[in-house]
Amino acid sequence: MPELPEVETTRRGIAPYVEGREISEVVLRQRSFRVPVPEGLENALVGRRVGTLSRRAKYLLVPLEPREGEEPATLLWHLGMSGSLRIVNLGEPPRKHDHIDLVMDGGRVLRYHDPRRFGFVDWLKGTVDSDSRLARLGPEPLSETFDGERLYRLSRGRRLAVKPFLMDNAVVVGVGNIYASEALFLAGIDPRREAGRIARERYDRLAAAVKEVLTAAITQGGTTLRDFVSGTGEPGYFAQRLNVYGRAGLPCRRCGAELRAVTLGQRASVFCRICQS
């Protein structure tokens, strides 16, 4: 699944081609996604100019300036399990699973590709923060409001393992399976440990590790494991730097011990029994 670095990489990749451009046409080849495409979306988009793109957790926010007599609105886009947004030239034939095209007045097309159709695009009116999907979210992991003190405070009394605790979007947004595994390795914390039994000092290290891992992943363009490519069609290269994720049974890059796999919160978790305690 595309995680925060992949969505941020997508935002940065497509922004120069869509920001300030007017949508001249919408081509909709499929309406059935995890959330069905709203009726009338095609007509509602044509003639609107795209504002400055942003991201909240794993959601891509595409603000749209109002047409005369209308209110501003925002497209809320989620890439789901296998979705990607990329820029193509006008007239480029669609591939299988290319479901939505937003044609820009500059001759470029923002094309949505999603083989599994677990993603969606929705139409938000009014303020973005009023949407229930966004209102319940915790702080961004790269913001100043996310730190070890927050992790320590929210973990008190929790018997939940630290990895699913870290992946809880009410605690911090956008730390999915890949990057939670990598951050816990970097911080030297066993993913099976109870969240409420971890000291403040270790949570300081974990918060710093989350920021380090996500920053590095964004710099490398995300992690290409199956389907992800950036907004310009390039793969991400952070997979070459993974220490534990997807490496069960292989030697630890740090100590050489065999990496082990367990299931936590219905997700596979790989860790080093020597380097993580």
Which CATH number fits the domain that encloses residue 173? Answer: 1.10.8.50
Structure tokens at 258: 């065999």
pLDDT of 95 > 80? The answer is yes
Residue 88: phi, psi to the nearest 5? -130, 165
Q: How many helices (H) and strands (E) does the chain have?
A: 7, 10
pLDDT of 225 > 70? The answer is no
Confidence of residue 232 (pLDDT cuts 50, 70, 90): low
Q: What's the pLDDT tens digit per position in 200-216?
A: 999 999 999 999 999 99
Q: Who's near 160: CB < 8 A, 6+ residues apart?
A: 194, 195, 196
Confidence of residue 226 (pLDDT cuts 50, 70, 90): very low
In a domain, 143, yes or no: no
Which residues are marked as active site?
2-3, 58, 267
Record the pTM. Answer: 0.86
| CA angle centred on 90, ends 87 and 94, rounded to 5° | 75
In this predicted model, which residue has the larger pLDDT, 218 or 259? Answer: 259
Average pLDDT over every residue of 56-62 = 95
pLDDT of 248 > 60? The answer is yes
Residues 82 and 15 in one domain: yes
Confidence of residue 228 (pLDDT cuts 50, 70, 90): very low
Q: What is the DSSP letter of 239?
A: G
Residues 122 and 152 in one domain: no
Structure tokens at 247: 């490496």
Q: What is the dihedral angle through the alpha carbons of 85, 86, 90, 93, rounded to the nearest 10 degrees?
A: -80
Which of 52, 64, 72 has its CA nearest to residue 11? Answer: 52
Residues 168 and 244 in one domain: yes
**Count of domains for the chain:** 2
Confidence of residue 236 (pLDDT cuts 50, 70, 90): very low
Would you call 133 helix, strand, or coil by DSSP? helix
Domain range enclosing 260: 148-271
**Where do the DSSP E strands lie in 114-171?**
120-125
Average pLDDT, the chain: 91
In a domain, 82, yes or no: yes
pLDDT of 163 > 90? The answer is yes
Which CATH number fits the domain that encloses residue 60? Answer: 3.20.190.10
pLDDT of 133 > 60? The answer is yes
Confidence of residue 70 (pLDDT cuts 50, 70, 90): confident
Structure tokens at 203: 């949570």
Residues 122 and 170 in one domain: no
Residues 104 and 201 in one domain: no
SS (HEC) of 51-99: CCCEEECCEEEEEECCCCCCCCEEEEEECCCCCEEEEEECCCCCCCCEE
Cα distance between residue 112 and residue 18, in whole Å: 14
Name residue 122's amino acid. D
Going by the annotation, the residues of the binding site for DNA are: 97, 116, 158
Q: Who's near 234: CB < 8 A, 6+ residues apart?
A: 13, 221
pLDDT of 14 > 80? The answer is yes
pLDDT of 237 > 50? The answer is no
Confidence of residue 227 (pLDDT cuts 50, 70, 90): very low
Q: What's the pLDDT tens digit per position in 172-197?
A: 999 999 999 999 999 999 999 999 99
Q: Report the DSSP beta bridge partners of residue 127.
A: none
The lowest-confidence range among 43-57, 120-134, 216-230 is 216-230
Cβ contact 142:214 at 8 Å: yes
* Percent of the chain residues topping a pLDDT of 70: 92
Q: What is the dihedral angle through the alpha carbons of 131, 5, 208, 143, rounded to the nearest 10 degrees?
A: -40
The predicted pLDDT at position 223 comes to 52
Going by the annotation, the residues of the binding site are: 97, 116, 158
In a domain, 79, yes or no: yes
Residue 75: phi, psi to the nearest 5? -85, 130
